[in-house]
Chain A
């Protein structure tokens, strides 16, 4: 169960220059605050846990499409190991042994003719997943503000920090204030 880190890729984003031209056409000064809901980013997120995508999709002003466990077989190497389990030898042993039993049971259920959509009920929360997210800048800013807080869990804090970095690199004029906590 090797821990491969979450990978995030920006697939496209709104061209802010095109929006600025619309302001110019109407002879109105460009206002970054006014375009926050018009600038959109589409991200691919790979190999984060379902724990974290459950937290992510609570942010409802966004569009999500996620790898389905109804149709795809669960992959055995695909579980996120929390650092505090990883660094604790006894905990890591319990974690790995339990996963082995769970995956063996999953395979047995599928072999016994149980549909993947039912066999998956036994799978762990930490299973890795892939998801595409299309989100506007205002909604993304809210995620960054909430999920980089110290109270947020380590995995979504890392994800929110990465999403922030990619959005800021793509559209720096919208991300001038410090919002990470």
Chain B
């Protein structure tokens, strides 16, 4: 199985921070975004660490990504979907798939026997494309624990 990143949410760490602040702030979105910009990446990292520690993983669902998965059989995909129903697989040909998922599912997959091989591929792609270095560092310790 191979995976290549097609698209992912812009500014993923800031997007997660926006979702987290939304729960605790009465301010309009522009004020929350300005506050996050002003406080900088260390604060976004602090919020990420907190949500993972508190197991408030719902905020990670706003970081979404789409990949092209190749050399994967229908049997392999079926097994993954049964274990992780929030994965979106659409077949392009007999062994190629468009896969969409969010960062919560990615974290959950990385901790699961069925999901960790795919999680390792996806995290490797995020690292290769330098999409979310802070998230990867916090959630996977700079490298995937899936291996």
Interface residues on A, range: 35 or more
Given known contacts A9-B29, A26-B92, A63-B102, is B22 in contact with A130 (CB within 8 Å)? yes
Contact A134 B61 (CB under 8 A): yes
Partner of A46, one of B15, B29, B90: B29
Contact A18 B93 (CB under 8 A): no
The count of A-to-B residue pairs whose CB atoms sit within 8 angstroms is: 97
Contact B7 A14 (CB under 8 A): yes
Cα–Cα, bound, A54→B97 (Å) = 35
Contact B24 A23 (CB under 8 A): no
Q: Is the interface of B mostly helix, strand, loop or mixed?
A: mixed
Given known contacts A21-B6, A22-B98, A72-B25, is B62 in contact with A63 (CB within 8 Å)? yes
Partner of B23, one of A28, A37, A44, A66: A66
Q: A residues within 8 A CB of B10?
A: 12
Q: Which residue of B lies closest to A33 (CB)?
A: B90
Contact A38 B24 (CB under 8 A): no
A18-39 near B? 1/0 per residue, CB < 8 Å: 1101110110100000110110
Q: Which residues of chain B in 63-96 are interfacial with respect to chain A, using CB atoms and an 8 Å cutoff? A: 64, 66, 68, 88, 90, 92-93, 96
Cα–Cα, bound, A146→B9 (Å) = 28
